[in-house]
Amino acid sequence: MTGIAVFETVAAMCTAVAGWHAAGEQVALVPTMGALHEGHIALVREGQRHARRIVASIFVNPTQFAPHEDFRKYPRTFDDDCAKLADAGADAVFFPSVEEMYPPGFATRVLLLGPAAAGLEDRFRPTHFEGVATVCCKLFTQSRADFAIFGEKDYQQLKVVTRMAADLDLGIRIVPLATIREPDGLAMSSRNRYLSDEHRALAPELHRIMQELAARLRNRESLFGAVTDAQGAIISAGFELDYLEARHAETLAPVTSLADGPLRLLLAARIGSTRLIDNIAV
């Protein structure tokens, strides 16, 4: 007994949403992969500011994982997730199987340019965003939701999905929400549970170093020098750094000075076998 409606088929979800729309109620979709934390619940609360009805989807989407990535071991905590969503006042969970989303013969991908090819996550996860965009496009058209709520935690993803929704006239408004952090500054993430105690204690350094970098940039220090120092500090702290870059906050285009702004700092770093991403505004 979960206390919240669970739809396992597209048809069941569509019927519920159509009923709400017929009653004049708007619907916000909160797409997730489950293993929910306070960041996800904040998305539900943001959705409630925009729409009467909230559908959270829980789908660990195989097409956005590379073969060597953690699809199989990605944390799955369905009962606990449903209890949290019910507590938050969400109306329904869409919980499709892989076969429901990708029936035999499925052969389509969304081709992305622009922010998806900015040379950040896409450099390390070359097929990731086409998987994200394909599943989001399906979720948006399946649900016919009026709003979809996305976290700034996955900043490049937010830009990719916003661009796609506009470019393909998907008729849904993408609403961003600021990153929710632990008290020590670590961005909440389902993958934080992979961290050993030692690595968990080190992980907030990423946010601290980015904040220090943002402060230096606001003080008009040289972009190249300040970014290089911050990259060095991350490596000295014991991380393997995939990237730390300042980019244009809207287009994600490379920048050479503060005058190219507004700027956003984006990073990905690995510690042990866990890969962490984060970003902040300058």
Instruction: Using DSSP, state whether 142 is helix, strand or coil.
Output: helix
Q: Does 118 bind ligand AMP (CB under 6 A)?
A: no
Residue 198 and residue 261 in contact, taking contact as beta carbons nearer than 8 Å: no
Tell me: does residue 177 bind ligand AMP (CB under 6 A).
yes
Q: Which is nearer to ligand AMP, 11 or 66 (CB)?
A: 66
Q: How far is the CB of 109 from ligand AMP (least distance, A)?
A: 19
Tell me if residue 40 is catalytic.
yes
By CB under 6 A, residue 179 contacts ligand AMP: yes
Residue 150 contacts ligand AMP per CB under 6 A:
yes
- Residues between 30 and 59 with contacts to ligand AMP, criterion CB under 6 A: 32-33, 39-40, 42-43
**CA geometry: angle 222, 224, 225, nearest 5 deg:** 65
- How many residues touch ligand AMP under the rule CB under 6 A: the total is 17
Pairing of strands 27-32, 274-281: unpaired
Does residue number 188 form part of the binding site for ligand AMP (CB under 6 A)? yes
3-state SS, residue 248: strand
Nearest position to ligand AMP, beta carbon:
151
Residue 154 as a binder of ligand AMP (CB under 6 A): the answer is yes
Which one of the listed residues 21, 40, 199, 248 is annotated catalytic? 40
DSSP 187: B
Q: Give the residue among 19, 8, 147, 176 at the shortest CA–CA distance from 82.
A: 8
Q: Is 187 in the site for ligand AMP (CB under 6 A)?
A: yes
Q: What are phi and psi of 265, to 5 degrees?
A: -95, 130
CB 177 to ligand AMP: min, Å? 6
Nearest one of 227, 192, 62 to 130, comparing CA atoms: 62
User: Does the protein bind ligand AMP through residue 7 (CB under 6 A)?
Assistant: no
**Between 182 and 242, CB nearer to ligand AMP:** 182
Q: Which residues contact 146 (CB under 8 A, 6 or more apart)?
A: 26, 27, 28, 50, 51, 172, 173
Interface residue list for ligand AMP (CB under 6 A): 32-33, 39-40, 42-43, 150-151, 153-154, 177, 179-180, 187-190
The set of catalytic residues is: 40
